[in-house]
């Protein structure tokens, strides 16, 4: 599959056209593949006529193997992100969406195509949380990561989804900050349950306080920790 391309490089060199950094495989006597990075230069005689080609190569077999391994790891990581059972999204240094996995799409009803390149805070966060969420992302863009930050996202159908977020700084190969990756957890049902527990607790407190009977409680040391309105009314002692 490389014969045509290699022949074109050599033919060009025979026409006086040099080629730099051309990659192609050579096969050894024992049929091993060796990857070569080639500079092809015309060879000239004393009169300046092209009489051949000189190829100066570099064995890049190990580098190619390393690149292949990096590509495999990158594909595995991409698959892991896309199939994770947690919403994962990323923004670039301008706050624009650059990452949006399958779970994020599932819970928000927005596909990656619909959100990529849009400002996450401006377009998907409610007004009362914009400042706080932007501060978390701005801190991460300065290398200060945040864990267990709660905020609401709104779905395509305007439903509220509560998210518990870890915001992690994203860096390039040189260590420069290029964005933020957020790994979240949908805690909508948990928040609903917490709200229901709070409502029940408030109702119970109101029931105790307004009961038409004295209700008194003590702790394990015999100290009063409950004294409702009726107890106060008949004893004249305030809680």
Structure confidence at residue 180 (pLDDT): 94
Q: What is the b/e burial string over 147-159, where b = at least 16 CB atoms within 10 angstroms of the residue's CB?
A: eebebbbeeeeee
pTM of the prediction? 0.58
Structure confidence at residue 136 (pLDDT): 93
Report the range of poorest mean pLDDT among 19-23, 37-41, 184-188, 218-222.
184-188
Q: Is 236 left (phi over 0), alpha (psi -120 to 50) or beta?
A: left
Structure confidence at residue 75 (pLDDT): 81
Structure confidence at residue 71 (pLDDT): 83
Length of the chain: 239
What is the distance in angstroms between the CA of the first residue and the CA of the last residue of the chain?
A: 90
């Amino acid at each position: 599959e490389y014969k045509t391309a290699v022949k074109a490089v050599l033919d060009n060199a025979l026409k006086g056209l040099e080629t730099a950094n051309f990659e192609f495989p050579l096969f050894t006597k024992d049929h091993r593949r060796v990857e070569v990075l080639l500079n092809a230069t015309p060879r000239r005689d004393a009169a300046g006529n092209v009489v051949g080609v000189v190829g100066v190569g570099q064995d890049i077999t190990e580098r190619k193997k390393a690149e292949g391994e990096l590509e495999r790891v990158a594909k595995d990581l991409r698959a892991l992100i896309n199939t994770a059972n947690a919403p994962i999204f990323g923004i670039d240094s301008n706050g624009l969406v650059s990452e949006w996995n399958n779970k994020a799409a599932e819970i928000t009803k927005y596909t990656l195509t619909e959100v990529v390149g849009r400002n996450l805070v401006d377009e998907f966060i409610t007004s009362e949380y914009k400042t706080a969420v932007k501060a978390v992302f701005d801190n991460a863009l300065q290398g200060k990561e945040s864990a267990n930050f709660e905020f609401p996202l709104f779905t395509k159908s305007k439903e509220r989804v509560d998210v518990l977020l870890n915001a992690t700084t994203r860096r390039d190969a040189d260590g420069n900050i290029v964005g933020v990756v957020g790994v979240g957890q949908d805690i909508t049902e948990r928040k609903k349950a917490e709200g229901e527990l709070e409502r029940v607790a408030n109702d119970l407190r109101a029931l105790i306080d307004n009961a038409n009977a004295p209700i008194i409680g003590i702790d394990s040391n015999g100290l009063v920790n409950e004294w409702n309105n009726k107890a106060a009314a008949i004893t004249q002692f305030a809680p």
